[in-house]
């Protein structure tokens, strides 16, 4: 299956990466099984510019070396040592290349190459120590949460461009692992939540300022508005009571007509004057002028006639006026209710919020404490993972450094003995 996958023909970058990975895995398997020729063929299938090229070049060189073909092993290793020095395969090739020169008895060349690579090992060890110190000081976490970096697909690599950031090329494998990604995602989620909580606290401050501004604006105005409203309210209640009495009378007049209820003001005045004349004539005790009683009765009869003959029209007009009044009253009630709602809203816009805001501020404060504690734990875990990875790489380089020192000394010793033999001959 790996062999078939390693021979896929495609121009898609992801497919080619899978193809390279299959060839690398199969080559490594054959190398461990000591099938060096087969391993060599698999490693040579891997692209030189792909993400797995460094490991393939290293494996290809070792396949030749195990077969005793050290001259051929020099080719891939010479290419590999010119690449990014932080890569583990490149660092291993820095030991393998002079080792091959030594096997070819080019001891002076081997000694010089060992010396050059020892300097690079020193530089990288210093970088790793500085990176570990940087992580322990919290700069790694500060770099991880920068938004402008995370918008770039290569943001992990770009971390190394920041001042005081750790050497992230040493952390690429770690940061690509599932455990680190899950831990990082949790940390970033907590960091985002912390920002939201801080934003909510700021929002509460702004909300309190708005409420205070409303209080300052409304409190001086409301007493005068309430006084006027009470006056209007009492007048309105009086008019509504009058309207209700009129409506009740009109309903009663449908059963028992009362024309006198619909007499005009002028007719009422005339009726009162006629009654006064009658009372005066009766109270005087003297005989009334000739025909006075008849004229008074005729006047009352005319008044009575007008009131009763106009009753139906007046009753119809009164009902129509009542309907018109009801429409106006309905509109007035709507305006009244709107004012009441507006008045309540004005008060409610700044009253009753203090306790709610205090409770929310307390809840947010507790949540921030919890989030900060979780962030500290999660951040410490990320830092520990990174420090452990860098420490392992530093120890590996230190081991390489020791081996290179002894190998360089041995190469110098062999080169010196070879020169002595040449002179002796």
State both tokens at 133. 């110190």
**C-beta neighbour count of 354 within 10 angstroms:** 11
Q: Of the candidates 246, 244, 266, 264, which has an alpha carbon nearest to the alpha carbon of residue 313?
A: 264
What is the per-residue burial (b if ≥16 Cβ within 10 Å, else e) of 68-102? ebbebbbebbebbbeeebbbebbbbbbbbbbbbbb
State both tokens at 233. 């309210």
**C-beta neighbour count of 188 within 10 angstroms:** 14
In the chain, DSSP finds a helix count (H) and a strand count (E) of: 17, 0
State both tokens at 70. 């050290």
Distance CA(183)–CA(181), nearest Å, equals 5
What is the reported pLDDT for 79?
95
Cβ atoms 143, 159 nearer than 8 A: yes
* pTM exceeds cut of 0.85: no
pLDDT band at 5 (very low <50, low <70, confident <90, very high): confident
Structure-derived torsion over alpha carbons of residues 54, 55, 57, 58, reported in degrees to the nearest 10: 120
What is the reported pLDDT for 101?
93
**C-beta neighbour count of 164 within 10 angstroms:** 13
| pLDDT over 60 at 124, yes or no | yes
How long is the chain? Answer: 425
Mean pLDDT score across all residues of the chain:
85
Interval 65-71 mean pLDDT? 94
Flag the least confident range among 74-83, 141-150, 344-353: 141-150
């Amino acid at each position: 299956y790996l062999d078939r996958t390693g021979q896929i023909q495609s121009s898609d970058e992801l497919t080619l990466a899978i193809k390279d990975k299959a060839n690398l895995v199969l080559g490594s398997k054959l190398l461990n099984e000591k099938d060096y020729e087969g391993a060599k063929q698999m490693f040579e299938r891997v692209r030189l510019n792909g993400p797995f090229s460094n490991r393939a070049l290293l494996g290809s060189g070792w396949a030749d070396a195990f077969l005793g073909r050290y001259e051929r092993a020099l080719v891939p290793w010479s290419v590999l040592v010119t690449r990014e020095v932080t890569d583990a395969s490149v660092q291993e090739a820095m030991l393998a290349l002079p080792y091959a020169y030594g096997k070819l008895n080019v001891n002076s060349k081997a000694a010089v190459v060992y010396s050059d690579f020892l300097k690079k090992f020193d530089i990288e060890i210093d970088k790793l120590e500085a990176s570990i110190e940087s992580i322990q000081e919290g700069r790694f976490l500060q770099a991880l949460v920068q938004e402008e970096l995370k918008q770039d697909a290569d943001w992990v690599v770009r971390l190394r461009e920041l001042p005081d950031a750790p050497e992230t090329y040493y952390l690429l494998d770690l940061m690509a692992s599932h455990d680190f990604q899950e831990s990082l995602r949790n940390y970033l989620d907590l960091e985002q939540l912390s920002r939201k909580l801080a934003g909510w606290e700021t929002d509460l401050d702004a909300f309190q300022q708005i409420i205070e501004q409303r209080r300052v604006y409304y409190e001086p105005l409301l007493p005068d508005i309430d006084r006027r409203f009470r006056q209007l309210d009492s007048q309105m209640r009086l008019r509504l009571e009058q309207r209700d009495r009129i409506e009740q009378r009109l309903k009663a007049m449908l059963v028992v007509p009362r024309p006198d209820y619909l007499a005009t003001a002028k007719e009422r005045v005339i009726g009162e004057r006629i009654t006064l004349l009658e009372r005066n004539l009766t109270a005087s005790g003297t005989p009334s002028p000739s025909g006075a009683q008849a004229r008074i009765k005729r006047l009352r009869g005319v008044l009575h006639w007008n009131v009763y003959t106009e009753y139906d029209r007046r009753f119809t007009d009164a009902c129509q006026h009542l309907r018109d009044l009801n429409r106006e009253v309905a509109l007035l009630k709507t305006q009244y209710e709107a004012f009441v709602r507006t008045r309540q809203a004005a008060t409610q816009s700044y009253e009753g919020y203090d306790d709610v805001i205090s409770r929310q501020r307390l809840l947010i404060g507790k949540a921030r404490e919890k989030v900060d504690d979780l962030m500290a734990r999660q951040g410490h875990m990320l830092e520990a993972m990174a420090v452990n990875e860098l420490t392992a790489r530093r120890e590996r380089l230190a081991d390489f450094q020791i081996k290179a020192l002894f190998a360089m000394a041995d190469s110098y010793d062999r080169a010196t003995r070879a020169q002595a033999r040449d002179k002796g001959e």
